[in-house]
Amino acid sequence: MDLPQELIDEIIDHIPQNDWKSLRSCSLVAKSWVHPSRRHIFRAVDVSEATRLKLWLDKISPTNVGVLQHVRSIGCHIAEPLDSFHPPVDFLRDYSPSFRQLESLALLTGLLPSLTQINTYSAFQHTLSYLSLQCCNVIASELITLVNYFPNLAHLGLFSSFHRVDERATPPLSRPLQKLTILDSHDGPGLLDQLMGLRPEGVTLWMSRSSNPSFAQHAIDGVATSVKRLNLEGDTVGARNSLKNAVARIVEANAAILSQLWKTL
Partner 1 sequence: MENPLTLSSCQELRELEINAFCPGTAELDLISSITSMNIQRIAFTMPCIPSRPVVSPSNWIQLDDSLCQLVDRLKSGLRLEVEFEALGKQVWWSGERGFKKFLPRFYEKSY
Q: How far is the CB of 239 from partner 1 (least distance, A)?
A: 8
Give the residue with the Cβ less far from partner 1, 34 or 232: 232
Give the residue with the Cβ less far from partner 1, 116 or 260: 260
d(CA 200, CA 211): 22
Residue 196 touching partner 1 (CB under 8 A) = no
Q: How far is the CB of 164 from partner 1 (least distance, A)?
A: 26
- Among the listed ranges 11-19, 96-104, 128-136, 246-254, the one in contact with partner 1 (CB under 8 A) is 246-254
**Which of 85, 209, 221, 258 is close enough to bind partner 1 by CB under 8 A?**
221
**Which of 25, 117, 174, 245 is close enough to bind partner 1 by CB under 8 A?**
245
Beta-carbon contacts of 123 under 8 Å, excluding residues fewer than 6 positions away, are 96, 97, 98, 99, 100, 102
**Which of 18, 152, 231, 258 is close enough to bind partner 1 by CB under 8 A?**
231
Residue 208 touching partner 1 (CB under 8 A) = no
Q: How far is the CB of 246 from partner 1 (least distance, A)?
A: 4
**Which of 4, 167, 252, 260 is close enough to bind partner 1 by CB under 8 A?**
252
CB contact at 8 A, 68 and 38:
no
Pattern 98-137, binding to partner 1, x per CB under 8 A?
----------------------------------------
Give the residue with the Cβ less far from partner 1, 119 or 231: 231
Using alpha carbons only, what angle is made at residue 45 by residues 111 and 28, rounded to the nearest 5 degrees?
155
Residue 240 touching partner 1 (CB under 8 A) = yes
Q: How far is the CB of 248 from partner 1 (least distance, A)?
A: 8
Give the residue with the Cβ less far from partner 1, 5 or 208: 208
Cα 203 to its chain centre, rounded Å, is: 14
Binding site for partner 1 (CB under 8 A): 213-214, 216-217, 220-221, 223-234, 236-242, 245-246, 249-250, 252-254
